[in-house]
Amino acid sequence: MTPLAHVVTTDLAAIMRGRPVSEERLQKAAAIGLGWVPANLCLTPFNSIPGENPWGSAGDLRLVPDLSARFSTSSTGAETPLDLVMGDLVELDGSPWTGCTRTQLKDALAALKKATGLSVVAAFEQEFLLRPAIADPLRVPGHAFSVASFRATGVFGPRLATCLEEAGVEPEMVLPEYGNDQFEVTHAPTDGLAAADRAIVIREVTREVARNLGRRACFAPKPAVEGVGNGVHIHFSLVDADGKPATYDGGRPGGLAAAAGSFCAGVLKHLQVLTVLTASSPPSYYRLAPHNWSSSYTWLGERDREATLRICPVVTMGGRDPAKQFNIEYRAADATANPYLALAGIVRAGLAGIEQKLPAPPIVSGDPTLMSEAELDAKGLRRLPETLEAALEALKADETVCAWFPKSLIDSFVAVKQAELALMAGKDKAEICAAYGDRY
């Protein structure tokens, strides 16, 4: 049996798609790529392509494997290894294609470094449900964060950790979370592009390990209306040209260095539009509500899990250096968002904040739902979009954010999301949650 490697790209529905090839063919593909179709970018999670998309039936591309971004594990329980190679979409002459989301993140990171000398270090923290093989109405879910919940899954946790370690994504934690049958998986911080690669690889490895054990891993933001949602928390920090931490300044409010404060200000300034790039489906907005431990306002908080941007804690015991730990957590994201596009949007917004020399936002505590309009205005708190429709309209109306990306990419994104909305028309919230729960 010939093992196959999958050369993959991630589309606007955050689905990893690609071409399986032998090792010999993979080496050839590194030079000339594999065939790809532009309209594939506009596939919805329900395997349809909207008629209103910029590409139609014409055109051809090449999917070129990045052999330095290869993730392989033979421990998932399958007969053959899971071998994933990240790919970049290019034109037939090898020039970058405007619809390649991985290239968009590369460009955003390069723009930040060129303008400021700073680079992004990032990590994706992802939640999912591990659904049992057979639904049992009498089954009692395990306790949140408990040893019993972890052990009740049998070999799942140890096998997933083994696979992720073998694949090279540096897993830090696989643990039972707050919700019934909910787990969380994290990886070590790394450069921005590698972090987005790891995010999508972790999802695919997790799904395969679960599938081979007769289970199902579900990353949907709201698998059930009344259930706990699954978030993706994007942690980021800045380093200078020498790789030294550049996010922390103990003498400033919240410990935010000047550039980091301006970066956060840029994110908050554009957050009402950015949200559609980081929470990209109808049920995403059932989760982004007050008192959900998610996000609902343009809010910078210190160690507050309702804030959209959370200044994370640092540990100083044992003489540890806070600068090396210090990071910001972006919480208005989920697994229906393309991780490359999500992080690219955050980086572009942060760069705009630095270039405009925006002052650091105020650090807010308290419950925004109990504040008056005057208090909200004084603290710079604005409600995030409450539906995908509203988020899309905010994107289409914002010339600044749209200018950060090629028009064809924005048009494709809008077409995909409008197609998803059309497919959900007439369904109630429970049906919409179930539909996305099945696909993610």
Q: What is the pLDDT of residue 132?
A: 77
Per-residue pLDDT tens over the stretch 87-135: 999 999 999 999 999 999 999 999 999 999 999 999 999 999 988 766 5
User: Would you say residue 358 has pLDDT above 90?
Assistant: yes
Asked if pLDDT for residue 3 goes beyond 90, the answer is: no
- Is 93 inside a domain boundary? no
pLDDT in tens, 7-39: 999 999 999 999 999 999 999 999 999 999 999
When pLDDT is cut at 50, 70 and 90, the band that residue 145 belongs to is very low
pLDDT value for 52: 83
317 CB-near residues (< 8 Å, 6+ apart) = none
Whether 322 is in a domain gets the answer yes
What is the tens place of the pLDDT at every residue in 229-283?
A: 999 999 999 999 999 999 999 989 999 999 999 999 999 999 999 999 999 999 9
Which amino acid is residue 7, in one-letter code? V
| Rounded Cα distance, 108 and 263, in Å | 13
In this prediction, residue 418 carries a pLDDT of 96
**Tokens for 8?**
């993959």
Mean pLDDT estimate for the chain = 92
Specify if 45 maps to a domain. no
Q: Domain range for residue 358?
A: 105-439
Residue 137 has pLDDT above 60, yes or no: no
**What average pLDDT does the segment 42-62 reach?**
91
| pLDDT tier, 139 (very low <50, low <70, confident <90, very high otherwise) | low
CA 88/CA 103 separation, integer angstroms: 7
Two structure tokens written together for 300: 């910078």
pLDDT of residue 366: 87
Separation of alpha carbons 296 and 23, rounded Å: 47
54 within domain boundaries: no
Looking up residue 424, the CATH number of its domain turns out to be: 3.30.590.10
Kindly state whether residue 9 falls inside one of the protein's structural domains.
no
Model pTM score: 0.93
pLDDT at 140 over 50: yes
Residue 408 in any domain: the answer is yes
Task: Answer whether 99's CB lies under 8 Å from 105's CB.
Answer: no
Band (179; pLDDT cuts 50, 70, 90):
confident
- Domain assignment present for residue 71? The answer is no
Closest CA to 341 of 196, 222, 125, 195: 196
pLDDT digits (tens, 9 = 90+) for 377-435: 988 899 999 999 999 999 999 999 999 999 999 999 999 999 999 999 999 999 999 99
In terms of Cα–Cα distance, which of 171, 198, 75, 179 is closest to 127?
179
Total number of domains constituting the chain: 1
Give domain status of residue 292, yes or no: yes
Distance CA 381, CA 272 (A): 11
